[in-house]
Structures are given as C-alpha cells and as structure tokens.
Amino acid sequence: MTSSASSNSATKLSAPDLKTVLLASGFILTLAMGVRHGFGFWLQPISQAHGWTRETYSLANAMQNLMWGVFGPFAGMVIDKFGTAKVIVFGAFLYVAGLLWMALIDQPTLFIMGSGILIGAALACTSFGAVSGIIGRSAPEAKRSWAFGMSSAASSFGQFVMMPVEQQLINHVGWQNAFYVLAAMLLAVMLPMAYKLREPPLVHASGPQQSIMEAIREAFAYKPFLLLVAGYFVCGFQVVFIGVHMPAYLKDKGIMDPNVAVIALALIGLFNIFGSYYAGKLGGMFPKRYLLSSIYISRSVVIGLFLLAPLSPYSVYIFAAAMGVLWLSTVPLTNGVIAGIFGLKYLSMLSGFVFFSHQVGSFLGVWLGGYIYTRMGNYDVVWMITLALGVFAALVNLPINEKPIARMPSQAVAI
C-alpha cells in the first residue's frame, strides 16, 4: 500500500526524507508551542495594565485553546489534500496577527474573541496536527511512533527554551514589546522551515477510495476512537490549567520569586523531551493503550503528592520534573493509535478531531481555573478535578482496540 497526502485518490511517488521532515517540523513546533506555553507569564501584567480580573485573561486563553480545536480538523483536511507547507505559512501569519492583537487591544470582549480566533487558528495550522500527517507518511511503520515522539520532544524543547526567553523579554522590554519580538521570531523561523515540508509529486491510485465524509463517519462510529477522544479531553484540561495558572498559584502560596515559576515551566519542557521521546520509542514495543493509561494515572499520583507535600521551590521543581516526563508523552501514542487503526490517508484530519476534544478540555481547564479563583479565591477545587480526571482517563484508555479497523472489500482504501 502507498501513503497519501490528498483526499482525492492520490498517492506519493516517493516519501520525503524523514530527517528533513523531522528537522523542519521540529523548528516549527519549537516556536509554535514554545510561544504558546509562555502565555501564562502575561496573565498578571496584562490584567494589571487593563484593570481586568484573572478571569478575563483566562477566558481569552481558554478561547484560544477552544478555537485551536475547532479549526484543527479543517486545517487537517486542507493539509491532507494540498500538503503541509502552504498551511504552515498561512498559520505563521495568523500567529503574528494574533500576537499583535494581544499587544494592542484593551477592550475585553475584542481581546478575548480576536486573540481566541487568531491564535487558535494559527496553532491549528502550525502545531501537532499540522505536521502529524507528513511525519506519519514519511516514517516507515516501524519508526512511526518514534517519529511522533521526536516531534513531541521538539515541542517540549520549545517550552524549555522559550520559557526563560519570554519571561526575560517581559522584564526587559515590557509585555507589549515582548509580543512584537516574538512575532518577528515566528516569521523568521517558520517561513523558511515550511518550504522544507513540500510534498513530493502525486500520482493517482487505483481501486476504491474513501471520501472525507466516509472517513469521518467510520471514525465516529468506532468505539476505540471515541474512547481515545474522551481520554484526550483530560490531557488538555490538565496541561493547560497547570501551564497557565502555575505562576499565579505559586505567588498566591507565598513563593514570590517569579524565577521559580520560570524554572518550573522550563523543567516541564526539559523533562518532557525525554518523556516524549521514550513514549514514542516504547509505543513501538508495547500496546499504546497501556502506556497511555499509565501516563494518566501517574499524573494523578504526581498531582496528589504535590498537593500533600509542603510547598517550597524544591517541591515545585520536583513536581515540574515529574509532570514534564508525562506532559506531552500522550501525543505520539495518541497519533500512533490513530494511524494504526485508520491508516495514513486522513491522519491529519482525524488527529484534528481527537485534538478538538483535547482543546475542549484545555478551554475548561484554563477558564475554570480563572472562574473558580475569582469566586473562591483559590485553586483547590480545580486541583481536585484535575486529579480525578486523570483516573478517569486511565480507565477509558485501557479497553482501546489498536488493531487496524476491519473494512469490507468495497471500503478498502489505498493508504
């Protein structure tokens, strides 16, 4: 069978060089995810500058995550049909527009809606879902889970590198100018890297072909796909709540040195480089559903121990390192399950639908954090929800059947 980058019965003449794909997509993910992971540093300066409560900025970040999920399947459809490079370029310009919007708009509703749509759409075009298709189609089956792990590691490296960069930019040039600098960096890196992701020429494949709507109906009628969707919701809730609200939570608890939060978020990125890499590597050796379940239950254990232990900079660093190992290690395993069940032809689109669930969780995690804090003055309830959801995700991933879906001969697809 051959792999396809289009939804119209086309397959590639030859696969792109995997090393080039991983390198170029790694740079793109480093910037896309690195900038996004640092948005928590703007919560207090923007809220103070505009006289907003934390709920306003939290809702803006929540809207970004929700729109990221909403636009994800559509970005995937375009990528699967026309290739990756054009969508990455479009996403880079959307990202710049979103950063400029956040720097210049001080009306709450406009800030929330504008940044939500622009940044959300930009991330849909430049993050995991955008590059999952070309990575999956470029890697041989034996290396596919590993390749997904490498791309997740690049995202984590971006978090590790960009956390201190963004904090220092805010400290030295101000929160508005920091957005301008990051916008310039995005264009300087993403545009040249996008053109290294051009798909090879395509030829028409013979035999029956599955349409986009047939692929969607098949996926949503298949129970393992729905279980994967449910589990990924939890991943989004957990990581975005912690990523956005951790700096403010530490200050509330008396850790006033902002460098503690910077180091903690950087440690999450650093340790997830290893977590993502080895999750991808192990995903080629063991059932991915068991690995996913282990990751979710381990998150709940780590969160519970963090809340029970006396809070200090050292306990924060230990928590960050442990969560870092588990942070984005779900991504290569989830994409690997999707590719294994449904094949590669609509991988970007189907990953986008699963990621939509992730982003609904992200929306609720970041917004609920601000909402409950505003009304109760602490994050205690949200921490409890985060812990309980980890147990739920561990349970729903266990029964997932990873075998390729059985299709009738008339449903066979060239993938």
Query: What global pTM score does this model have?
Result: 0.75
- DSSP output for 243-295: HHHHHHHHHHTT---HHHHHHHHHHHHHHHHHHHHHHHHHHTTS-HHHHHHHH
pLDDT digit string (tens) for 368-380? Answer: 888 888 888 889 9
The tokens for 172 are: 């030295």
pLDDT score for 408: 59
- Residue 207 pLDDT > 80, yes or no? no
pLDDT digit string (tens) for 281-338? Answer: 898 888 999 999 999 999 999 999 999 999 999 999 999 999 999 988 898 899 889 9
- Residue 123 pLDDT > 90, yes or no? yes
Give per-residue burial for 30-44: e unless 16+ CB within 10 Å, then b.
Answer: bbbbbbbbbbbbbbb
pLDDT score for 352: 84
pLDDT score for 298: 96
pLDDT, averaged across the chain:
85
* Residues 54, 249 contacting (CB under 8 angstroms): no
In a domain, 3, yes or no: no
Taking CA atoms, 257 is separated from 163, 226, 243, 250, 262, in Å, by 15, 43, 17, 9, 9
pLDDT score for 16: 56
Return d(Cα 269, Cα 267) in angstroms, integer. 5
Count: domains in the chain? 1
Choice between 362 and 71, residue whose per-residue pLDDT is larger: 71
pLDDT score for 407: 67
pLDDT score for 290: 95
Domain range for 173 is 11-202+211-406
pLDDT score for 199: 66
In a domain, 412, yes or no: no
pLDDT score for 409: 53
- Residue 410 pLDDT > 60, yes or no? no
Q: Which residues contact 132 (CB under 8 A, 6 or more apart)?
A: 148, 151, 335, 347, 348, 351
Return d(Cα 16, Cα 326) in angstroms, integer. 30
Tell me which residue of 212, 213, 201, 198 sits closest to 8, measured CA to CA: 212
Return d(Cα 402, Cα 334) in angstroms, integer. 10
Mean pLDDT of 338-348: 84
pLDDT score for 234: 94
Asked which of 28-32, 68-72, 207-211 is least confident by mean pLDDT, the reply is: 207-211
Q: 69: domain CATH number?
A: 1.20.1250.20
Mean pLDDT of 236-249: 86
Return d(Cα 339, Cα 262) in angstroms, integer. 36
pLDDT score for 6: 41
In a domain, 5, yes or no: no
pLDDT digit string (tens) for 124-161? Answer: 999 877 888 788 778 887 788 788 888 878 777 877 78
Q: Which residues contact 408 (CB under 8 A, 6 or more apart)?
A: none
Choice between 132 and 271, residue whose per-residue pLDDT is larger: 271
In a domain, 27, yes or no: yes
Mean pLDDT of 217-230: 92
pLDDT score for 9: 37
pLDDT score for 121: 94
Which of 12-16, 69-73, 189-193, 276-280 reaches the highest mean pLDDT?
189-193
